Structure 1
């Protein structure tokens, strides 16, 4: 028989576990710290499990407490999401997506109109920042992370296809006074550095040791979208992702000036809570995004295949 527990006690435990303090939980729930302590005791009695270690005036989750907290916090996040959904004017679904700035700017924004056309009932809220977000807080439905590592506790992740990293520049630079036709030609050009990428010019140069590059010079940017924009403006040659530069390549604002095998690196990952991964709005967004990525992957392979020497 399933044990029934006090929802009030669970709420007190969730706040204390998430905030790491009975006092802070009390402030959030507008009760006294002793009331939080009492409710946690009630829950421990009901479960017959110790959830917190009491150490003088501080508390720390037990192993059982951490496991319980992960599931309970995710459940409260789902309740918050359900509340937002049913109170949205017009009955539509709001999908909140957090993304790294370059992916948001270079890839996602140009495709949002297509997403909206396919799923008009979903209103997307896009947040872009480099900081990690805690999905268990309930404010974010999906996080698109770069070089994400293993998913956090209580989350699931699906990796994007590998990033293909290649040198790119403006057509005017490629065909200018010092044409770029082969890797050795880069020695006469400015290199644009994107400093947050998994692989940079030093990694590329290790693959092409005969090419003399001045790796200490050139503009440096901490976001790929800025490095790509600088290359479009003719400031030099960037080394970046075909995924992120696809729009500029298709428009003829950038070119891959010579054919060499691309660097392949793990790129972004699609992260959601296990407990919300099957919500219709998240499934719809995931399926659309993965289809678009697959379409992009095919285009990238065709583009590289069209370059002399890589076909």
Structure 2
């Protein structure tokens, strides 16, 4: 045990990296910025290596190779200590999960409630984060991120691959299936998700040159589906997000054989530090739910 540095120094190091700077770490630890700097300098002296490269720019710090090697061990050890102390005090640490609004409302929220029912000793916190999740600010343990295939990271865990196809209300279907060009078209505003742009479906339906005037654009997928369920027009549905609407009959596929694989995926990203002891259990649960819903076995190595 003689090679283990000061716990206070390890806490300062982990907090500075997780929060992106000495000042933020100092605020969390309720000490001065100079105290954090002093602790990390002492840690480096004890180990005989530089752990952080300091900069006067935004962010102020960058991990060295040695720091990157130490961080997972320090984070894991502190997380285990925090969990043990919380259990002794009878206060379990919350497991925080983030996702964008449509995915959270249409797929994730119900499953988190089911997970909580099976694991009542683990408090759950679900938050909305569009785009890149802010792990440090919100202390996120697991983020569900919607990313293009070309932007996948080596440590991303693929959760769902979507399929896109036209849908409408059952009341509209008899007319829409024979007169697509006369229908109002509902479109989600997503510049880089080409499958959600009606322009890229015009060849299948023989849409006229002025069909753009029939498009109503919405800022979120939830708005599109709400309008489609209400019979306002044709939407480009994303499965499995709309599976509840399809099963209930509130929406029907315009042409059952017409579908395209999406070029974006929902992936799981672990928080960079402070691993929650139930994190892997939650990941396994969500992957099993995704597999059960799609019927497609996901690669366990992904």
TM-score for both structures, normalised by structure 1 = 0.75
1:190 and 2:188 equivalent? no
Structure 1 pair 229–81 and aligned structure 2 pair: CA distance change class (3 A): farther
Give the whole-Å Cα distance in 1 for the aligned partners of 2:252 and 2:56: 64
Q: Report the alpha carbon displacement of residue 74 of structure 1 after superposing the two structures with TM.
A: 3.6
Give the whole-Å Cα distance in 1 for the aligned partners of 2:250 and 2:50: 62
Give the whole-Å Cα distance in 1 for the aligned partners of 2:157 and 2:234: 32
Q: Which has the higher contact order (CA 8 A, sep 6+)?
A: 2
Contact 2:181 2:205 in 1 (8 A): no
Question: Which of the numbers 268, 283, 288 marks the counterpart of 1:291?
Answer: 288
Partner of 1:147: 147
Q: Report the alpha carbon displacement of residue 28 of structure 1 after superposing the two structures with TM.
A: 4.0
Structure 1 pair 223–294 and aligned structure 2 pair: CA distance change class (3 A): same
* Range 239-248 or range 104-113, more displaced: 104-113
Q: Report the alpha carbon displacement of residue 287 of structure 1 after superposing the two structures with TM.
A: 2.9
Q: Report the alpha carbon displacement of residue 193 of structure 1 after superposing the two structures with TM.
A: 0.7
Contact 2:79 2:276 in 1 (8 A): no
Partner of 1:257: 254
Give the whole-Å Cα distance in 1 for the aligned partners of 2:203 and 2:2: 60
Contact 2:10 2:74 in 1 (8 A): no
For the residue of structure 2 that corresponds to 1:133, the secondary structure is coil
For the residue of structure 2 that corresponds to 1:219, the secondary structure is strand
| Equivalent residue runs for 1:9-88 within 5 Å | 9-54=9-54, 59-61=60-62, 63-64=64-65, 67-68=68-69, 70-71=71-72, 74-75=75-76, 78-79=79-80, 82=83, 86=87
Give the whole-Å Cα distance in 2 for the aligned partners of 1:41 and 1:209: 66
Q: Report the alpha carbon displacement of residue 102 of structure 1 after superposing the two structures with TM.
A: 0.9
| Equivalent residue runs for 1:216-227 within 5 Å | 216-227=213-224
Give the whole-Å Cα distance in 2 for the aligned partners of 1:65 and 1:138: 27
Q: Report the alpha carbon displacement of residue 35 of structure 1 after superposing the two structures with TM.
A: 3.0
Give the whole-Å Cα distance in 2 for the aligned partners of 1:26 and 1:147: 34
Contact 1:20 1:60 in 2 (8 A): yes
Partner of 1:308: none
Contact 2:11 2:78 in 1 (8 A): no
Residues 194-233 of structure 1 deviation map (CA, whole Å, 9 limit, x = unaligned): 1137232246326637443713542222221221111001
Contact 2:172 2:231 in 1 (8 A): yes
Contact 1:151 1:271 in 2 (8 A): no
Contact 2:183 2:214 in 1 (8 A): no
Question: Which of the numbers 241, 244, 261 marks the counterpart of 1:247?
Answer: 244
> Unaligned 5+ residue runs, structure 1?
300-311
Give the whole-Å Cα distance in 2 for the aligned partners of 1:76 and 1:106: 36
> Unaligned 5+ residue runs, structure 2?
297-302
Structure 1 pair 172–159 and aligned structure 2 pair: CA distance change class (3 A): same
* Range 25-34 or range 156-165, more displaced: 25-34
